[in-house]
Amino acid sequence: MLIILLSVVALILVLFLWFYLSRAIPVWSAQSKMGPEAGTIYVDGIAFRDLNKNGVLDPYEDHRLPVEERVEDLLSRMTLEEKAGLMHHNFIFPGEDGEIARPIKPMNLLSVEDALFNKEMRFFNLYQIPEGKLAAVWLNRIQKLAERSRLGIPVTISSDPRHTSMWQGAAIGVYTPAFSHWAEPIGLAAIGDTALARRFGEVAAKEYRAIGIHTALHPMVDLATEPRWGRISGTFGEDAQLTAELGAAYIRGLQGDSLSAATVSAMTKHFPGGGPQKDGWDAHFPHGKDQAYPGNNFEHHLLPFAAAIEAGTTQMMPYYGVPVGQTGEDVAFGFNKEILTDLLRDNMGYDGIICTDWNLINPSKLFGFNFMQPRAFGVEHLSPLERTLKAIEAGVDQFGGESKPEQIVQLVNEGRIPESRIDESVRRLLDLKFRLGLFDNPYVNEDRVDELLATEDAVQLGYESQLRSQVLLTNKSMDGKPMLPLESGRLKLYVQGHERAVAEKYGEVVDDPDAADVIILNMSAPFDPKYGRLMGIQLFREGRLYYTDKELQQILTLLEKKPAVFTTYLDRPAILTEIAEKAGAVLVNFGATDEAVFDILFGKFNPEGKLPFDLPSSWESVLNQREDVPFDLENPLFRFGYGLSYDDEEAK
């Protein structure tokens, strides 16, 4: 027993020492490369940042010159290592209280210093952030650190959607308390108002830039033609024309008429459309690697992307999937030259940045061991170096979720790819930084953050989006009048699935459904929890769209007790056939707080949302529909565009 105990202690000490050294060595190495911060040069009374600290105003530092001239000057000064670093875009994590975080080496994550000075990286994806002002403090510190590099190239920070109204919102959406809270993109589709979509983009850009975010890893303009797909809540629904219009307006809101220090770059995804996933499985996982086109409808999915290009999207992200049978070789979009160069660049005229989705090239490591394989679908047999080469030759400018610029350096040094090809991508990446104003001033005003985030106007617009996007599906007659709206303050309510504190503002909440006047039941939309999980986290809701017999019986038993309202957040088109028959009213939302739901139920707002996709009536109809074809369900329970208001005769 003693021997075992000593062995365990020894192992812990070895791991601790290894962990400590693996944290420290990259930082020491990085610190040896840190120079002074940028100074200031005055010419004709105008201040310029001396980014390379040479005491001379170089063309790339001169904000009076055209962007193209500044790009070419800086490009000519960069080493191959600096160029390769620019082509990598990975996660970044904060320390406590706005401090620069140390590396997390057991999970193969870099420190900021290591990424900036050893890897020469200047693009980072922000996930978890401190509250409000602390986020600005932290990101300003990162920019100050980047100043100490040889050329002083600033950092570009990106983010997935951050304006969800729920703690668990859309897939890869991040609840950010300090921001205004809106309906999901699928909710904007339920509203169908392009002016509101553009206004959302403007609000998002303002709140992003307030803390130091420069790139939106959205919008998603994939078409929701496959009802089982787990990412529908991040789309604008099933209709190509509506998606094209809303996506274009959203991009114009983010980017303005042209990029500037006050706007945000849009990375539109997932080219050429991630909706037609075979059997609805998502391509984050090997079981979902194939995209299916049984309806021969590939080109239909390009329509929203054409609109995004016309709207000026500056970046584009291809998805993980393999377009089976659509190109000469069945390889994922990120490695597919026919898709990225022949189609996107040559045929559709796109000349912006192409950034891969995350983790296509190298395995993720845990304590030095591979614990998650890259999503290199179709090219699994290639080495990471060969995958890097194939992606660049396909047309990729930047690698999302990767931190191995040495692979590009090796390819150039071995003569397998010319440096001139690397320059093509770096030009686009530098151009973006210049147009966003980062070379002239990458800092945010820390003292103004609180007044710029969640302004009264933004909060009101966000709440209105939650209200306007809700769809009233049924509203049956009870005692000669419609079930909804309910009478505030006059009813005994049995509430399940909503916050009790919210419900108590509208009526007397009771603990026994038999004692209630009205039952209000909120249930999560159905899914199979054994799918869509990554590292133990339920990343997406996949699988079935029906409630199990046990779940359905529990729901129906409650709905049959008293006059009842059924509510749910529809992240996918759930099968609600039996529920619609039994409930007095069915109200669905696409990202709304309980307050917004109860404001509809009790008549403070008249529902106006319309379904952004068809709702299936049976699982059999889902199995029979084709993944790539819109509106392909047999006998849908409710069709796209359906939705009642309290003024409709059907709702009276």
- Residues carrying an active site annotation: 357
Residue 48, CB-side half-sphere exposure with 13 Å CA sphere: 22
* Ordered DSSP codes for 586-648: EEEESS--HHHHHHHHTTSS------SSPBPS-HHHHHHS-TT-TT--SS-SB-TT--B-TTS
Contacting residues for 54 by C-beta, under 8 A, at least 6 apart? none
Q: Which secondary structure element, helix H or strand E, spans residue 475, and what is its range?
A: strand 471-475
d(CA 268, CA 264): 12
Q: Based on the number of CB atoms within 10 Å of its own CB, is 107 exposed (0-12), middle (13-18) or buried (19 or more)?
A: exposed
Cβ atoms of 135 and 101 within 8 Å: the answer is: no
Question: b/e per residue, 31-40, with b = 16+ CB within 10 A?
Answer: eeeeeeebee
Cβ atoms of 40 and 117 within 8 Å: the answer is: no
Count the helix, strand and coil residues of the chain and give each as a percent rounded to the nearest 5: 40, 15, 45
d(CA 2, CA 395): 60
Q: What are the angstrom distances between the C-alpha of 174 and each of 165, 474, 533? A: 10, 32, 17
d(CA 391, CA 641): 40
Map tokens 């069915």 to a residue. 586
Reduce the secondary structure of 276-326 to three states and give it as a string.
CEHHHCCCCCHHHCEECCCCCCHHHHHHHHHHHHHCCCCEEEECCCEECCC
Query: Omega before 272 cis (within 30°)?
Result: yes
Contacting residues for 33 by C-beta, under 8 A, at least 6 apart? 117, 118, 149, 150
Output the CA angle 477-478-479, nearest 5 degrees.
Answer: 120
3-class SS at 160?
A: coil
3-class SS at 353?
A: strand
Q: Measured in whole angstroms, how far is the alpha carbon of residue 100 from the centre of its chain?
A: 24
Query: Omega before 63 cis (within 30°)?
Result: no
Q: Measured in whole angstroms, how far is the alpha carbon of residue 521 from the centre of its chain?
A: 30
Listed residue (314, 402, 301) closest to 359, CA to CA: 402
Tokens representing residue 16 in the block: 């601790």
